[in-house]
Structure 1
Amino acid sequence: MPVADSSLQLWLPSLAHIEPAHPLRAWLPRADRLPDGGIGYLGGLGDHFHGVDAGVPAAAITREFLAGDAGGALWLSADPAWVQPDMNGVRLLACGRMGLDMDEAQALAEPLRPVFDETGMRLELSTPDHWHLRLPADTSLPDFAAPEQALGEDLAQHLPQGPDGRRWRVLLNDIQVLLHQHPINAQRQARGMSPVNSLWLWGGGRLPSPAGSELTGVLSDDLLLGALAARAGVARQSRTADAIAACGAGWLIDLQDLPAHELAARWWPLLQPLLERRDVVLHFASGERWRHKPLHRWRFWRGAGR
């Protein structure tokens, strides 16, 4: 259920990724612990947008945001991805943020289009890094895992299972075979970039009614978060230094996708002044939540490690 709170909201990486020497850790003992919030990416979104959960039809929502043509069609996200085999299987290492330009994306998609056409699906390149499949209306969709659930893990644990999932596993294998030897990937690897050797299928469904929210605004570079905010009539801005410095009550600053070292080096100098002068809720992607008020900085008697 979305949180009705006029505080400034900081959405942060998992607490386990924040090392003891990280500057953020020093502020937690002075803050008030709150009940845990949503865990993970979709859980965190669900704290701020009504009805958003693991089954959110992300494909239709993001397609409508990017192209305005989702309508009543059935959609599935097919985001460019990098997978890599190891001794224990094949792991998903990156998805949806591959740094493609449109020429590269079109070249990678060209050999895939006939495969999708044969099944009645139509591949749409909504942006270079975010692709969508328009599906026949009667397509039966199994449960697909969101990228955050599968990143770093063996694909076999997260692919659709059972008889309904078999056609999708076969389709994914065909896609990987076609992309494996694509010349674009040789060019990318020569430049020190990751190959695009798979697609991640997820977020299937039809466009739902807009999800309500108590937020005033969202500061984020995340596509689905931006799309949800747009449909809810919530203000949106990109994540920049000036935007963070100007953020006030009711805004959500999305930092949960950042490595802890980048959070400390690049963004902490901007966040510390906010903690000193505003009522701030710190929500870690692992669920833990604290509220820090300006007067809390004088709580020197509180020991570390709370």
Structure 2
Amino acid sequence: MSVELWLPALARFEPAHPLRRLLARADRLDDGPRGYLAGLTAWFDAPPPLPAGALTRQLAAGDAGDALWICADPAWVEPDMNGARLLACGQMQLTAAEAAEFAEPLAPLFEEQDMRLELTSPDRWHLRLPQGTAVPEFPAPEQALGENLLQHLPQGPDGRRWRILQNDIQVLLHQHPLNVRRRAAGQPPVNSLWLWGAGALPATVATSLRGVVSDDPLLRALAAGAGIAHRLRTPASGARETAAVGMAPADAAAHWLIDLQDLPAQSIADAWWPMIHTLARQRPLRLSFASGERGELRPWHRWRFWRGGRA
């Protein structure tokens, strides 16, 4: 079984990038899923829609229980001629003090709805909802980034409550004095919360993986739910990182997933290439790009010089 590498979209890799040389010598496989959520559900079997709120809350705080949770990630929304667009979400580089300052006027708003706001981390917030709350399916941030938000707001009678709540959130954050200071410092404002991933903790999560190396909270939460090992990513240094995914005994790294899909291609070339090069010489390696392309490389494939260096 292969070590799996989850990589950014293939188009992000320049022709001279070393990953291109690997892919050129690999056996091409049928295309796999495209995008973040589709990639997760390809490796993990959990009840749809994926309850990201409960899973990530359980990983971070261990108190998800049987409650209903939804992610409420700090976000930056920018008005334009056609409405507004989501420009950033969940990675706003907030300090704990800034997060508490932003949350202060929001907490009473949620309490009026019998919801409780939890600052799980400065950049990852959650809402605990009353049991039986009807929650429409909100798109994940990756599905809405850069797009007109009007096409992603919940519709119909069930969605009206949530549209009003979203509007109230934006009004309170738009006039928050901390945003004036952030803009003056060249930082993006936090003028909205992106609600997504509602649901309760699933009873079971299944996977054929034996472990994951990732900084992504939802991926690590799925690994924890499936009862497999999950390790935070560290800058690769060849032998040290290959040891981290269990290079000894010989089969210990079989079917581990190393998640690099959120990194710039140049960072992969600079910091992670020694690890990838070592793995490719020692065991089967499957390359899965976020754009769907896949290839499988076996150690002897490095002798396929006739295939050149482009893919």
Do the two structures share a fold, i.e. TM-score over 0.5? yes
* Alignment match, 2:164: 170
| Alpha-carbon contact 1:244-1:253 (below 8 Å) kept | no
> Mean Cα displacement is larger for which, 21-30 or 194-203?
21-30
* Alignment match, 1:74: 68
| One-letter identity of the residue aligned with 1:175 | I
| One-letter identity of the residue aligned with 2:273 | W
**Which residue of 281, 298, 305 corresponds with 1:300?**
305
* Alignment match, 2:197: 203
1:30 aligns with 2:35: no
**Which residue of 278, 285, 289 corresponds with 1:273?**
278
* Alignment match, 2:141: 147
Alignment of 1:24-173 (within 5 A): 24-51=19-46, 53=48, 55-173=49-167
> Mean Cα displacement is larger for which, 66-75 or 289-298?
66-75
How many residues align structurally? Answer: 300
Q: Deviations over 1:127-147 (max 9, x none)?
A: 111111111212111110011
* Alignment match, 1:226: 220
Counterparts of 1:104 and 1:269, CA distance in 2: 38
- Identify if the C-alpha distance between structure 1 residues 266 and 181 changes in structure 2 by more than 3 Å, giving closer, same or farther: farther
1:258 aligns with 2:282: no
> Mean Cα displacement is larger for which, 81-90 or 6-15?
81-90
Q: Deviations over 1:77-110 (max 9, x none)?
A: 1011112223443221211121112111111000
SS at match of 1:113: helix
Q: Cα offset for 1:210?
A: 2.8
* Alignment match, 1:9: 4
Q: Cα offset for 1:267?
A: 2.4
Counterparts of 1:298 and 1:86, CA distance in 2: 53
| One-letter identity of the residue aligned with 1:109 | A
| One-letter identity of the residue aligned with 1:128 | P
Q: Which runs of 5+ in 2 are unaligned?
A: 246-252
Q: Deviations over 1:161-209 (max 9, x none)?
A: 2222122122111111111122222232333322211100000011111
| One-letter identity of the residue aligned with 1:31 | A
Counterparts of 2:178 and 2:288, CA distance in 1: 40
| One-letter identity of the residue aligned with 1:124 | E
Counterparts of 1:96 and 1:75, CA distance in 2: 16
Counterparts of 1:264 and 1:172, CA distance in 2: 41
SS at match of 1:125: strand
Query: How much identity, in percent, do the aligned residues show?
Result: 62
Counterparts of 1:178 and 1:300, CA distance in 2: 61
| Alpha-carbon contact 1:46-1:52 (below 8 Å) kept | no
Q: Deviations over 1:238-285 (max 9, x none)?
A: 111256332332211101111223323332343223223321000111
Counterparts of 1:212 and 1:92, CA distance in 2: 32
Counterparts of 2:79 and 2:155, CA distance in 1: 20
SS at match of 1:63: helix
* Alignment match, 2:16: 21
Counterparts of 2:114 and 2:127, CA distance in 1: 10
TM-score scaled by length of structure 2: 0.90
1:245 aligns with 2:269: no
TM-score scaled by length of structure 1: 0.92
* Alignment match, 1:3: none
| One-letter identity of the residue aligned with 1:225 | L
| One-letter identity of the residue aligned with 1:226 | R
Counterparts of 2:309 and 2:128, CA distance in 1: 52
> Mean Cα displacement is larger for which, 248-257 or 17-26?
17-26
Counterparts of 2:112 and 2:214, CA distance in 1: 38
Q: Which runs of 5+ in 1 are unaligned?
A: 1-5
